[in-house]
Amino acid sequence: MQAFLAILRYDFGQLTRSWISRIWVPLLIAPAFALVFVANNESELASETMAFYIWAVMAPVSALAVAILAAGAISGESTIISDSILSRSVTRTEYVAAKIISRVAFTLAVYLAIVIPFAYLVIRYATTDTSVGGVIIGLLMVAVMLIFLATFGIAMSVAMTSVLPAVLVVLLAVVLSGAVLQFLGLTWMSTTAVIDQLPATFRGDTEAWEQMRVLLVFTGLSLAALSSAVLLFRRKDL
């Protein structure tokens, strides 16, 4: 447990110092303020404003940032993992669990720190057409998708030894997933479909089972990615 906490602290320190975080957070904050200002002046609908922000700013910027942070979680340290960390009294499970928790928690922390104040300001200053439950479910759906992206990135980080190929695989998977899911008749699972449905979700107009379906599928996929990452890392030669 000591080792787990030490690695967790170490990784959080790394994340807060990383240049990705330093770019990611301002890139999310500046457009959020601009949109609140516009929504207030133009009396835009809160549901449309929030959905537009998720579609135009949060999703693309966060996808890139989370892909890089997650895909670099372990492959980014490939040269020092064995020499400096795992040759000490650390188990593989402790190491990979600390990495997963820190990266997922950091992603969630940044996301929530931005969207909660943003949702509050939009609902307050734009034309309110949202329901509280709809907003919570809508933001939760986006959070679950981001968590899946983070866990998939960590799994790629375990599978590959370099950061760049791992990031490229994650981004390619995101870009191509829409086409593949459409081909498989699972369009509702694609990020585009979920984001397109967000205005209705924020208004509380989507069916509960559709919302649950998205939450369960992405949670399941995240758990599968995490299990693969842990199993693969425990078997890996370093």
**Contact residues for another protein (CB under 8 A)?**
2-3, 5-7, 9-10, 14, 17, 77, 79-80, 82-94, 234-235, 237-238
- Alpha-carbon distance 3 to 28, whole Å? 34
Q: Please report where in the chains the tokens 């997933």 appear, as a residue.
A: 177
Three-state SS at 45: strand
Shortest distance, position 7 Cβ to another protein, whole Å: 7
Structure-token pair, residue 109: 């922390």
How far apart are CB 231 and another protein at their closest, in Å?
12
CB nearer to another protein: give 7 or 126. Answer: 7
Please report, to the nearest 10 degrees, the dihedral formed by the alpha carbons of residues 170, 173, 174, 178 taken in order.
Answer: 180
> Judged by CB, which is closer to another protein: 81, or 123?
81
| DSSP-assigned states of every residue in 154-187 | HHHHHH-SSHHHHHHHHHHHHHHHHHHHHHTT-G
Supply φ then ψ for residue 190, to 5 degrees.
-75, 150
Instruction: Specify the residue, 43 or 89, whose C-beta has the smaller distance to another protein.
Output: 89
Q: How far is Cα 142 from Cα 129, in angstroms, rounded to an integer?
A: 19
How far, in whole angstroms, is CA 26 from its chain's centroid?
17
Nearer to another protein, 17 or 209 (CB): 17
Least distance from C-beta 43 to another protein, angstroms?
Answer: 48
Q: Least distance in Å: CB of 88 to another protein?
A: 5
* Residue 191 tokens, joined: 């990020």
The nearest distance, CB 205 to another protein, in angstroms, is 49
Residue (92 or 168) nearer to another protein, CB = 92
Residue nearer to another protein on the CB measure, 85 or 193: 85
Ramachandran region of residue 127, left (φ > 0), alpha (ψ -120 to 50) or beta?
beta
In the bound complex, what is the minimum distance in angstroms from residue 28's beta carbon to another protein? 25
Does residue 127 sit in helix, strand or coil? strand
